[in-house]
């Protein structure tokens, strides 16, 4: 069987309004073997979208599938680090420690 891989690109503005659509996209691709999320264009990301990313990463891990954030923009990495969510979404951020 050939592994199925999906690349999902996050928009420049990942605000609360986008969280529902993003969740729906993840639900449609949840059975794929490998999910990559390109965060290279993110300039703004809200808490609701971060929650969707955490849920998607956990669901992938629970089902034995691969989930990766690739090409994180500086704004994305800074927000993830400030929220201390790097480990939760599989994106270790330098200087982030979990107490």
Would you identify the CATH topology of the domain 5-82?
Transcription Regulator spoIIAA (3.30.750)
The pTM is what? 0.87
**Residue 96 — very low, low, confident or very high, per pLDDT cuts 50/70/90?**
low
Q: What pLDDT score does 33 carry? A: 87
CA atoms 25, 48, 97, 58: torsion sign: negative
Q: Where are the domains of the chain?
A: 5-82
Rounded to whole angstroms, how far apart are CA atoms 96 and 99? 10
What distance in Å separates the CA atoms of residue 8 and residue 82, rounded to the nearest whole number?
A: 23
Q: Check residue 94 and give its pLDDT.
A: 64
């Amino acid at each position: 069987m050939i592994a199925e891989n999906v690349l999902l690109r996050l928009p420049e503005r990942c605000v609360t309004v986008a969280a529902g659509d993003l969740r729906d996209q993840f639900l449609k691709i949840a059975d794929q073997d490998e999910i990559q999320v390109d965060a290279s264009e993110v300039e703004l990301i809200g808490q609701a979208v971060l929650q969707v990313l955490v849920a998607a990463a956990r669901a992938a891990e629970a089902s034995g599938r691969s989930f990766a954030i690739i090409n994180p923009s500086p704004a994305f990495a800074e927000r993830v680090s400030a929220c201390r969510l790097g480990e939760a979404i599989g994106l270790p951020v330098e200087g982030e420690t979990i107490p």
